[in-house]
Chain A
Amino acid sequence: MMQLTCPWCGVRDESEFTCAGTSHIARAAVTASDEEWGRYLFFRENPKGVHLERWRHVYGCGQWFNLARHTVTHEVLAVYRMSEPPPPLTQGSA
């Protein structure tokens, strides 16, 4: 089982959290074309490597936060708050 570090509660088991997908997706403009809107809604990079993603400590404090996590090793490279930009990362070990 993965263990994640909630910025408020500390290290907890994965089963206390839910993942809500990719972070930092910019909402498409109201004037966006169908193609731009489709890309915004559905298309994701889905990297095999480091992924910036939103998690929520749903069975804990209920707070949201961001993770930089490697999708093969599940190594967590950074934990940062929703309002923060992604930290500079050196690529995790694959």
Chain B
Amino acid sequence: MKYSALALVRGALSGGRSWGPAWRNPEPKPRYQVLIIGGGGHGLATAYYLARNHGVRDVAVIERGWLGGGNTGRNTTIVRSNYLFPESARLYDFSLKLYESLSRELNFNIMLSQRGLILLAHSRHDLESMSRWANAMQMNGIDAQLLTRDQVAERAPLLEMSPEARFPVLGGFLQRRAGTARHDAVAWGYARAADSLGVDIIQNCEVTGFSRAADGAVSGVLTSRGAIAAERIGIAAAGHSSVLAKLAGFALPVTSYALQAMVSEPVKPALDTVVLSPGTGAYVSQSDKGEMVLGASLDLFPSYAQRGSFAITQSILAATLAIFPAFSRLRLLRQWAGIVDVVHDSSPIIGATPVPNLYINCGWGTGGFKGIPVGGWTLAHALATGRSHELAEPFQLSRFMSGRLIDEAAAAGIAH
């Protein structure tokens, strides 16, 4: 069913009875052409682009919990492409461009709001490194604009701008096309669109092992709902990538950490842009519901617990209040954490694994949400053709052996 203004009227007139489920809830078939492990944004986008770009419709997405219940439902919803290196710039800007047309593409409102993202410079050195960063972006064809102190103050009036501030603001830089998108809608939009192209989305189905053919290639998975065979398998499991890799018999250069975020009680519009302060480690935006969305540093010890440590919660709040003292009276509504897959160069891994017919998309670390469209696009390409997509070519697992790392400090945006 196509969503439209007419459908809305019809739905209202029928008292809501004309709305059907957005996707089916099928039983797993014994065999698929392609199987994707992980029903978050990346896995669902992979399934959608397999069907749409490559005509591969005999696809299942299997998810241990519920759809979009991992990091897709636990991030701070920021999309941006303010990266330093040409390889990253191409990858992330392709993703942002897909986001820009995604609501129409999926016939699902992902509520993309390109409200701009400001990085704050708190020192002369920050100003210098940001002008280098902004210049590199412009050389890569991505919008970037340096801001004076007054221009920053005009865009975010509640910022602490006094000269006595613990973290004085000297200026900043802006990516206008950056912003936020509704995280659940991205998962639901891809799920609905993939389902309508014939993809089976199977929730509550945990992978417990891989079956292998005589030549060592994967031939299927063992799950909590029985064995499922597949010609090719893709892993898009973020913080649990190492667990699945171990089941398949290989290792990854990944460490899993908890990354926490939190929201305040909803208040009237007070901040119409995203503010990121690399110096304090805080980033802040206001959701469309009015909540202040706050995030900052990782809990810097390996963790698979989807909850953050209170020590870090305190430091995130302290960092936020250092740049927005006016928020001190806000009450905190919710705090949560997702398990992120951090690699040494803060760049993703998208492509083949040492196991034939098994492909992986991981290593996005603290910034996977913005990469959902391109992560799905490039993993789908690898699964359909057996070759890396041109955009993903520099982002192979082999770079950790060759030493050709893409050491993208801008990936996190803040010092983790």
Q: Roughly how many angstroms separate A72 CA and B305 CA in the complex, as a whole number?
A: 5
Residues of A within 8 A of B304 (CB): 48, 71-72
CB–CB B311/A15 < 8 A: yes
Give residues in A with beta carbon < 8 Å to B: 1-2, 13-15, 18-19, 21, 34-35, 37-39, 41-48, 51, 53, 69, 71-74
CB < 8 Å A-B pair total? 73
B129–chain A nearest beta-carbon distance, Å:
25
CB–CB B242/A38 < 8 A: no
Residues of A within 8 A of B403 (CB): 34, 38
Q: Roughly how many angstroms separate A73 CA and B305 CA in the complex, as a whole number?
A: 7
Q: Roughly how many angstroms separate A59 CA and B360 CA in the complex, as a whole number?
A: 40
B262–chain A nearest beta-carbon distance, Å:
16
Verify if B302 is at the interface (C-beta below 8 Å from A). Answer: yes
Residues of A within 8 A of B302 (CB): 19, 21, 46, 51, 53, 71
Interface size class of B (residues with CB under 8 A): 20 to 34
CB–CB A48/B255 < 8 A: no
Known contacts A1-B310, A14-B309, A38-B400, A74 near B253 by CB under 8 Å: no
Most buried by B among A13, A37, A43, A73: A43
Q: Which of A42, A47, A71 contacts B305 (CB 8 A)?
A: A71
Q: Roughly how many angstroms separate A72 CA and B240 CA in the complex, as a whole number?
A: 12
CB–CB A34/B253 < 8 A: no
Residues of A within 8 A of B146 (CB): none
Q: Roughly how many angstroms separate A72 CA and B251 CA in the complex, as a whole number?
A: 20
Residues of A within 8 A of B314 (CB): 15
A-B pairs, 7 with minimum CB distance: A42-B253, A19-B301, A38-B401, A46-B242, A15-B311, A1-B310, A42-B400
CB–CB A46/B255 < 8 A: yes
Residues of A within 8 A of B240 (CB): 48
B311: nearest chain-A partner, CB-CB: A15
B351–chain A nearest beta-carbon distance, Å:
16
Q: Please provide the chain B residues from 148 to 178 with a CB less than 8 Å away from any CB of chain A in the complex.
A: none
Sample (10) of A-B pairs whose CB atoms are under 8 Å apart: A34-B403, A38-B403, A43-B252, A44-B251, A44-B254, A46-B252, A46-B254, A46-B255, A71-B303, A72-B303
